[in-house]
Amino acid sequence: MKITQVTPIHAGQFMFVKIETDTGIYGIGEAGSWGHIEAAKAALSRFADYLEGKDPSKIEHHWNVMHRFSYF
């Protein structure tokens, strides 16, 4: 199973993200800081470059990579 798409979802003052796999499984989570929607959307775009094509079951590994990739 691989991640195929990472989609930002802007809803009011919130940013969510939908992560889809090649098997049709998907998840939705909150992806932003209230009031900083454009920054959250830019970060999601950067993280999508990393996540797409990866195994979604490696949750802790992906979290660590994305958390430590910069000082942002």
Residue 61 sits in which domain range?
A: 3-68
Contact between 7 and 27 (Cβ < 8 Å): no
pLDDT at 72 over 60: no
> What is the C-alpha to C-alpha distance for residues 22 and 43, in angstroms, rounded to an integer?
23
Residue 64 vs residues 10, 40, 41, 58, 68: alpha-carbon distances, Å: 25, 18, 19, 10, 6
pLDDT tens digit sequence for 44-56:
999 999 999 999 9
**pLDDT the model gives residue 36:** 83
8 pLDDT above the threshold of 60: yes
Task: Report residue 43 as tokens.
Answer: 């970060």
Count of domains forming the chain: 1
CATH number at residue 57: 3.30.390.10
